[in-house]
Homo-oligomer: A and B are copies of this chain.
Amino acid sequence: MNPSRTLTPIAEAVRPFFAGVDLGGTNIKSALVDDRGQLLKYHTEKTHADRGPEDAAARMGEAVHRLARQVGLATTDIAAVGVGSPGPLDLTAGTIVRAGNLVGWDDFPLRDRVAAHCGLPVTFANDANAAAYGEFWVGSGRDFDSLVLLTLGTGVGGGIIIGDTNVEGAHSHGSECGHMIVDPSPSARLCPCGQRGHLEAYSSAKSLVARATEAVAAGATGSLTKAVSSGESLTPILIGREAEAGDPLATELVMETARWLGIGVVTLLHVIDPAAVMIGGAMTFGGNTAPVGRAFLARIHDEVRQRAFPTLAAKTVIGYASLGGDAGSIGAAGLARLARQHR
């Protein structure tokens, strides 16, 4: 949790309370919030995926108990818990289907095991959808009736919220915006999912590094080639830094990433027509606070202006997300609240 985030004292909090737990490959983040999404307490610990899923589920349950204790509540003062997890998931069964970097976790019934450990009802969600709900509820999307969140990291995650509807899909695959087809050609780039031409194959950190590596291997000159020659690894941070320093190749690679993202955003505007599209995740080149981040966003806007219905290009807010790595845990708590309202 961002240490600068303000905690609301329990005396000012509005019941009922909700806990959210965001399971990641590296960290488990948990948050205790009130009915308005105000943060009461948070906790972060290592995932220790190698200890297996039952160990993690026990610690996720314990985190909920601890958050309650720390603000002077009983666990039973918490109305419900939300758990966000990397997918693919089976939301109906409450299981992780294939857990990627959580080796050995396949088919683990995470929802019910966390529920058993904390003794509370658990709402289960894809981590990207939970993050989108967090932004929608109390973050960059709080002033809008609908939101698409694109999360740029190793992959490209997506979350779509339309009013009270979290687009989680009929088969737990809703909002997988990273897997829109942006290039249908047989020579399109390969996506880590195994198919070609998906947005993630062009706009993820992995894709940026792959394209940079290909350009250097193909004999491009400039600071990226120099960096590789002097033993540095190409990373989004290095590429962003060299773009900021004015290297043409680095700049082109970053702008190409934005161009493809813009193409994907146009399809989302025409299919969903959300009030806002927010871009989050680690690969935002410093966001609004850095020149490259601002140029990256401007390039997305350019592409949208060129390709979208003019009224949507003019009216849809496209910007950076605001909750950073805290969106998932807060949003998971929000989804637990939403599920309770709909029961």
Interface string of A163-187 (1 = CB under 8 A from B): 1010111111111110111111100
Contact B146 A181 (CB under 8 A): no
Closest residue of chain B to A188 (Cβ to Cβ) is: B184
Contact A273 B316 (CB under 8 A): no
Q: How far is the CB of A164 from chain B (nearest CB, A)?
A: 8
Q: Please tell me if A226 contacts chain B, counting CB pairs below 8 Å.
A: no
Q: Please tell me if A162 contacts chain B, counting CB pairs below 8 Å.
A: yes
**Residue of A179, A182, A315 ringed by the most chain B CB atoms within 10 A:** A179
* A175 with B316, Cβ < 8 A, contacts A165-B165, A182-B184 known: no
Query: Given the complex, which residues of B lie within 8 Å of A184, measured CB to CB?
Result: 182-183, 263
Q: What is the predominant secondary structure among interface residues of chain A facing chain B?
A: loop
* A272 with B165, Cβ < 8 A, contacts A181-B267, A181-B307, A267-B180 known: no
CB neighbors of B among A49-90 (8 A): 88
Query: Given the complex, which residues of B lie within 8 Å of A162, measured CB to CB?
Result: 162, 165, 167
Contact A270 B309 (CB under 8 A): no
**Chain A residues with a Cβ under 8 A of chain B:** 88, 144-146, 158, 160, 162-163, 165, 167-177, 179-185, 193, 195, 198, 263, 266-275, 307-309, 311-312, 315-316
Which of the residues B171, B180, B273 comes within 8 Å of A273, measured between beta carbons? B171
> How far, in whole Å, are A263 and B184 apart by their CA atoms in the complex?
7
> How far, in whole Å, are A306 and B198 apart by their CA atoms in the complex?
13
Known pairs A173-B270, A183-B184 / 10 extra A-B pairs, C-beta < 8 Å:
A88-B311, A167-B273, A169-B274, A171-B311, A174-B273, A175-B271, A176-B271, A179-B270, A195-B307, A195-B308
Contact A309 B271 (CB under 8 A): no
Query: Given the complex, which residues of B lie within 8 Å of A311, measured CB to CB?
Result: 88, 171, 173
Q: How far is the CB of A165 from chain B (nearest CB, A)?
A: 5
**Residue of A168, A172, A271 ringed by the most chain B CB atoms within 10 A:** A271
Contact A273 B179 (CB under 8 A): no
Contact A316 B171 (CB under 8 A): yes
